[in-house]
A and B are shown apart, each in its own frame.
Chain A
Amino acid sequence: MTKKRSKCLFVVFSILLVICLIASFVNFTYPFTINGNYYSYSNFVSNLKLGEDIGKTYRIVYRAELPEGEAQSNYDNLRTSTKEELKHILQSEGYRDVTASEYGTDSILIQVGNILTIDDENEIVNLIGSPATVSFSMNSDNSDPFAGAKDIENVYATSYYDQEIAENVYVVLIDFNDDMIDSIADATADGGTVYIFFGDTQFTQMDLGSSAITEGVIYMQSDDFQSLAHANTVANRIKTGMLDLELTTVESGSVSPTYGVGANLWIAVAMAIFILIGFIFLIVKYRHLGWLACFNLLFFITISLFLLQSIPLVHLNFAGMIGFLIAFIFVVDSFISIFEKAKEHYNQDTKLYIAMKVAQSETLTKTFVMNVGLMIVGLISLFMPSLAVQSFGWAVFVMSFVSLFCVQVLNRLFIKMYLPFNSTDGKKCNFHKGGQNA
């Protein structure tokens, strides 16, 4: 590579790095409008999905009461199953960081991490925030209902294409237990109108005409169902109303981290100091090569942040942050391995550029094995039920890929770019000939 080309490449990579750093750490409003509106950019760090221990959490406390006719002795078991079901509903909608606890003697506490925006909060409220005990009656005053929440086998939102109006119609499909088919058919034998109530409030009504419901399935329609998401919200309300206990929301809202206010700030400060120590160490020990490694490490950090915030399943809690640091240690160690090997060769009277090349190829297997090992550990951790271990797994799994790229690809390139400036003077890298190495 010629000196001129090296210079050009350094300039290009420096510009790229500045862009990466801005994208990672700076929030700003775009200096132009779209349809008269100003839009703002949110950086990678703000978009990281943090666990409930160090990030914002949405919490709901339900009072959980026994339905009529249930024995008090069953309460503890029913509360446990209800708690698990609520957790399951949220997890099936993609919320990974969910904890469910028994709260006091008669309540359930649900806490959901990874809350980034007000939309996330609204979605949780829609999902489980307002349980509805659904009932079906042929009378508009909800007297003598022919079926209720406990008779439902399954409920979900779906859609079909209505050719008459040439539009998609969104419905909530309510599938009743098999043993209810006959009684529902009897209740609706004369046709008429089915009134659907959420608690004591009528939610919607369906005109059956003169036909009866004979298959134990009701397709619930409403003017409110403007999209599948709307229908899904209602389906989830019914689902939470189908739980073993009757739930009433006592308190809900977003709260600061469970590890206390400022926890994330202190962790960020500690991480920044650790990274800084790593940078200083590399620069002091390897001078020019240390600067190159730091240049590379900044790419490593920004690429990792980009991936961690963009992969939907990734969530970071305190353990994930430690995973970040561990992956950083591994990548720093890879650089040290390469530079130490180069130092060793240079010490044996090899020219600097040859020493660097040989060091790269000699450490290839070692760095590859280390990173693949880290990847495997991360992968194993992903399948563990503990959220902390999973979070750690995500951090090391994602970052070991980036580490491989930075150590094997970027580092080779940067050293190639550096050699035209200095291919002989090892002193600039703190290398000394003939056993003078520190």
Chain B
Amino acid sequence: MLNRDFSKSNKEYFKKNKYAILVLVAFLVIGIIVLACFGMNSNFELAGYNEFTVRVGAETSNYNEYIEKIQSAINSENGDYDSFSIMGEGDDTTLIIRYNRDLTSEQQSNINDTIVEDLSITIEDVSAHSYVSPVVENTDYIFTALTIILMLILSSIFAYFRYNTASALTTIISSLIGTLIFISIGAILRLSIGMSYFAVLVIINLLMMFFAFNIFEHIREKNWLQTDQYSLAIDSSMKANRFRLCALNIGIFLIGLLLVILAPTSIKYISLNILFMAVVVLAVELYVVPFCWSVFITLCKKREVKVKADKEKVIEESISKKDNEQ
């Protein structure tokens, strides 16, 4: 027997959480527009970068002071400092400096002059600037998408057999929405996207599926589907899982925050992705999953009832037909 009031309760759910859902939708829409107009903000691994070396010799033990000066020299010429590495040792100690954005040869030579002046080194110690092509290939994009698709297919098959059709559909739709929101946030905030971003995309899907399964598992365990009280089912499951969901995602958020505040510049950008990953997973699990599940379970049950009614009708018709014939 279908709970006829359930469609109504979906509306109520939407009313109750309208601001959260509207914020998610807004992110999604603005993100897609930004993505279409400006694309993603690729970092040096995806877009290539410029590099030059500065020979600093053995005397420098505190590189940070040097790097600050080099960074300000690059930024003053409209460059976008990215990171540095140290090569060699002793008198041959050399800093490899990476920055994004192409600069004219005049700007490059201004940077070199400023560095020579600020660090009190000779012009021979600073190399010419070279462009380094991206290390990521097109296949990386394709295969990352394939990984996520494969994960979605496998997880929805699992959800279909262990839970029900609504759970399988919710897994797919909520993961897709979450991924899109995450990409949108990256596009809106112009977050730096690098090789690790591919892994973060896989991870965010994994986490969303993991938490969604926890929610479905609780409904299954408590046999809520047999009671036909779906609104109560999802509410009770959310209540049971909310603490764990919040605790784990806040933990991930704090780690991201710690790295954003304290880690070197290049890690900061990736850490921002981790930070937003936690926010998106939490938002999707708290708002999108319950909403999608409510909608899909209503649709599935409606369809189930309709199919059942149709069958009954056919049987009744055949019986009455037989009666008439007799």
Contact = CB atoms under 8 A, between A and B. Distances in A.
Given A281-B247, A387-B195, A107 B130 contact: yes
Contact of B133 (A53, A101, A376, A392): A101
B165 interface: no
A283 to B, nearest CB: 14
Given A318-B270, A322-B203, A370-B210, A255 B87 contact: yes
A277 B250 CA distance: 11
A400 to B, nearest CB: 11
A116 to B, nearest CB: 17
Contacts of A260: 83-85, 264-267
Q: Taking each of B98, B137, B147, which has the highest tally of chain A beta carbons within 10 Å of its own beta carbon?
A: B147
B86 interface: yes
Interface residues of A, number: 62
A145 interface: no
Contacts of A266: 259, 262-264, 267
Contact of B202 (A59, A101, A254, A389): A389
Interface of B: 48, 51, 63, 83-88, 96, 98, 128, 130-137, 139-140, 143-144, 146-147, 150-151, 154-155, 158, 162, 195-200, 202-203, 206-207, 209-210, 213-214, 217, 244, 247-248, 251-252, 254-255, 258-259, 262-267, 270, 274
Interface string A238-260: 00000000000000011111111
B258 A326 contact: no
B199 A322 contact: yes
Given A323-B203, A329-B251, 12 more contacts: A102-B132, A259-B266, A260-B267, A261-B63, A277-B254, A322-B199, A329-B248, A369-B162, A377-B151, A381-B147, A384-B146, A389-B199
A233 B150 CA distance: 41
A104 B202 CA distance: 33
A254 B132 contact: no
Contact of A267 (B48, B128, B154, B267): B267
B76 to A, nearest CB: 20
Given A53-B195, A273-B258, A333-B248, A258 B88 contact: no
A39 interface: no
A156 B210 CA distance: 49
A100 B135 CA distance: 6
Contacts of B48: 101
